[in-house]
Amino acid sequence: MEANKHRTGSVLVLGAVASEILPLVRRLVHPHRETTPFGTVWKGTLEGVRVAAAVTGIGKVNAAGAAVWLLERCRPRMVCVVGSAGAYPGAPLRIGDVLVASEVQAGDEGVWTSEGIRSMRAIGLALAHQEGLPVFGRFSLHQSPWYRWVRAVTPEGDLDTFRLRYGPLVTVGMVSGDERIALQRFSRYDAWAEDMEGSGVVQVCLHYGVPVLQCRGISNWAGTRDKARWRLEEALAHCHEVIQKWFQAGLPLESPENSIAVAGDDQA
């Protein structure tokens, strides 16, 4: 696009495994590949924007470690987490849909008592602070100007063969192993889907003051471990179709509010 020809700044795109970022890598102009302690990074341009697309590895620790390493070296203007997720039964999602996270919860942090699981608020320890407000595990993205921009550019609704939804996501260390656990988590977190890396990246970006978006294709129902029933390639293709629309529309690299909005409270 001519309007994007002379844009400056960079975007860091993160996926847990190579298949989650390769659809974007294949569209990069003049790509080159680098090896890092956390995996492979591809660099190039897309719609006039410098892009670094990196594989973090599975789980919050790998994702957070890679995010720190890459934020220090790439100095991106924004971060976008892409990949797949499992939807909870009862959530307003279908296999093949795309979920852009309005909030990301840290699902494993807290205290586990005989009466149930409670958040970090119950033990008086915040995971992070933003503008003096403690964050106990519920990171809100919907107040970010980047979130508002992508929602305006790609409104919620039908996109040809799938639906685009905006809603809550929870990050867990152990994925749901059966439908009973998935239903418990759906009730507990009031989230629509689960992933394994999102909150780690969001928490790191919060500390660095770098805006972050998260876009996930729904590949399966959480609790369904039969991968023959998963539609991973379709989910990732739809996820990257949405990402491509953002770049084509001129994904903004500057904003007067260069921070992640954080919910100041959550349920204990």
Could you report the per-residue pLDDT of 151-186, keeping only the tens digit for each? 999 999 999 899 999 999 999 999 999 999 999 999
**pTM across the whole model:** 0.90
Mean pLDDT of 105-119: 86
> How many beta carbons lie within 10 A of that of residue 1, not counting itself?
11
Question: For the segment 8-60, what is each residue's pLDDT rounded down to a tens digit?
Answer: 579 999 999 999 999 999 999 999 999 888 788 999 999 999 999 999 999 99
- SS3 string, 91-125, reads CCCCCCCEEEEEEEEECCCCEEECCEEECHHHHCC
CATH number at 2-248:
3.40.50.1580
Q: What percent of the chain has pLDDT over 70?
A: 91
Residue ranges of the domains in the chain?
2-248
Query: Is 2's pLDDT higher than 50?
Result: no
Q: DSSP character for 178?
A: S
pLDDT of 117 reads 81
C-alpha closest to that of 147 among 9, 252, 10: 252
Please provide residue 84's backbone torsions phi and psi, each rounded to the nearest 5 degrees: -115, 170
Q: Tell me the C-alpha distance between 115 and 148, whole Å.
A: 38
Tokens at 203, concatenated: 């928490």
Q: Is 82 exposed, middle or buried (0-12, 13-18, 19+ CB in 10 A)?
A: buried
- Alpha-carbon torsion (196, 198, 199, 204), positive or negative: positive
Better-scored residue on pLDDT, 132 or 68: 68
Q: Calculate the average pLDDT of the chain.
A: 89
Task: Give the SS3 label for residue 196.
Answer: coil
Contact indicator for 216, 83 with CB cutoff of 8 Å = yes
C-alpha closest to that of 169 among 200, 133, 132: 200
C-alpha closest to that of 47 among 18, 17, 27: 27
Q: Tell me the C-alpha distance between 214 and 42, whole Å.
A: 19
Quickly count helices (H) and strands (E) in the chain. Answer: 6, 15
Better-scored residue on pLDDT, 129 or 179: 179
Question: For the segment 80-100, what is each residue's pLDDT rounded down to a tens digit?
Answer: 999 999 999 999 999 999 999
Task: Give the SS3 label for residue 60.
Answer: helix
Question: For the segment 219-246, what is each residue's pLDDT rounded down to a tens digit?
Answer: 999 999 888 999 999 999 999 999 999 9
